[in-house]
């Protein structure tokens, strides 16, 4: 049986929801974001997907570049996978981009190329959960749907002085159910959800001291009244990240670098990477691996270690720069190896390298 959460002090909700839209309108000029200038369903959907796990300031250039290349849902549905990954390169969590395209194809097939306004239909699209469906519905269609994310959980926990664990699904459900009966329709619904986003991003901060002196909710906030701002919200610890060691091989011949495509499923599925091996390899182990692939090193140089953190995995990276000797009678590019060989311009234009491998971009160019 699922646990149920009974929130206290919910009589404050109507006041809270009355205060935030006016505050949002009054400070809108201070937080201009391109997707708010033209909140079409497509623009809202795209921005909400990009904003998952990513700061707004970091999203802006990707959003503008993406829209310039794929201005509507039909263009997204028809986009080549490699081009899509290149447009997304650097944003991380690449499954978001794959789900965007899958959803776009369904929208073109089943909804005439237009995002549906029905909540259940939105939820049935790949990559769209309750929060994203609510954000799209409220901002683009004026639906009275509260979009409950970390910002809302934090703000409500402090205003209501709630000690419920915000990592628990039951807490999120309770807060959504508490807000829903009081939510407005029309443009105010979208303004309210965006007000929560802005308040959580700029004032009711998750780490360190929140800026209560300039918070529009300070006069009704129980955490502020009781000096509990730093103790709330309560959140159970996330699971510890698994650590993995990898050795990256930058195989270079002339002006080309070897690239390998990752499997179609799993972490960073289908993206390109530099050849790499599990563990931290010594020089003799790298030489042995090269010999097994009929490659000979003219020069081997160890590179500085690096680290890349995914949501549940931490990669500890060691790396070698390998100047590959030309094969007898053949260039490396002609050999039948499990790589493609590309120069720096080809990599920049055609191959999507995840952020985990961007540490090594400076070594692509021969010095």
* CA contacts within 13 A on the Cβ side of 132: 25
Long-range Cβ contacts of 17-23 (<8 Å, 24+ apart) = 17/179, 17/182, 17/183, 17/184, 17/192, 19/216, 19/217, 19/220, 20/191, 20/192, 20/195, 20/196, 20/199, 20/216, 20/217, 21/184, 21/188, 21/191, 21/192, 21/195, 22/216, 23/195, 23/199, 23/216
The CA distance from 45 to 100, in Å, is 9
Q: What secondary structure letter does DSSP report for 341?
A: E
**DSSP output for 118-161:** SHHHHHTSTT--HHHHHHHHHHHH--------HHHHHHHHHHTT
Tokens 């901060």, residue located: 205
The active-site residue out of 11, 48, 191, 273 is 48
Residues with Cβ within 8 Å of residue 359, at least 6 apart in sequence: 306, 308, 317
Pairing of strands 313-324, 242-253: parallel
Tokens of 10: 């919910």
Catalytic residue check, 48? yes
Coil, helix or strand at residue 45: helix
The CA distance from 254 to 252, in Å, is 6
**Per-position b or e across 140-170, b if 16+ CB within 10 A of its CB:** bbbbbbbbbbbbbbbbbbbbbbbebbbebee
Q: Judge whether 181 and 234 are in contact, CB under 8 Å.
A: no
Residues annotated as catalytic (active site), given as ranges:
48
């Amino acid at each position: 049986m699922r646990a149920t959460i009974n929130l206290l002090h919910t009589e404050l909700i109507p006041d809270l929801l009355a205060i935030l839209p006016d505050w949002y309108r009054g400070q809108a000029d201070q937080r201009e974001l391109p997707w708010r200038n033209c909140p079409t369903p497509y623009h809202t959907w795209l921005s909400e997907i990009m904003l998952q796990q990513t700061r707004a300031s970091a999203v802006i250039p990707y959003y503008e570049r993406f829209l310039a290349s794929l201005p509507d849902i039909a263009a997204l549905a028809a986009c080549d996978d490699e081009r899509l990954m290149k447009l997304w390169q650097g944003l991380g969590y690449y499954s978001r981009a794959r789900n965007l395209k899958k959803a776009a194809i369904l929208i073109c097939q089943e909804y005439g190329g237009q995002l549906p306004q029905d909540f259940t239909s939105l939820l049935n699209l790949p990559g769209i959960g309750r929060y994203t469906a609510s954000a799209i519905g409220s901002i683009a269609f004026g639906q009275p749907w509260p979009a409950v994310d970390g910002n809302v959980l934090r703000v409500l926990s402090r205003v209501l002085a709630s000690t419920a664990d915000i990592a628990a699904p039951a807490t999120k459900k309770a807060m959504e159910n508490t807000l829903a009966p009081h939510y407005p329709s029309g443009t105010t619904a979208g303004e309210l959800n965006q007000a929560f986003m802005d308040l959580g991003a700029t004032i009711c901060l998750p780490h360190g001291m929140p800026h209560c002196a300039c918070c529009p909710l300070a006069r009704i906030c129980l955490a502020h009244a009781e000096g509990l701002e730093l103790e709330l919200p309560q959140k159970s610890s996330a699971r510890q990240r698994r650590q993995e060691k990898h050795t990256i091989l930058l195989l270079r011949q002339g002006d080309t670098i070897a690239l390998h495509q990752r499997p179609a499923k799993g972490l960073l599925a289908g993206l390109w990477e530099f050849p790499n091996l599990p563990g931290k390899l010594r020089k003799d182990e790298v030489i042995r691996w090269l010999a097994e692939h009929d490659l000979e090193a003219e020069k081997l140089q160890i590179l500085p270690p690096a680290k890349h953190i995914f949501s549940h995995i931490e990669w500890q990276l060691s790396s070698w720069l390998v100047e590959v000797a030309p094969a007898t009678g053949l260039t490396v590019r002609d050999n039948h190896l499990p790589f493609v060989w590309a120069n720096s311009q080809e990599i920049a234009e055609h191959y999507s390298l995840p952020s985990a491998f961007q540490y090594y971009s400076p070594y692509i160019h021969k010095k």
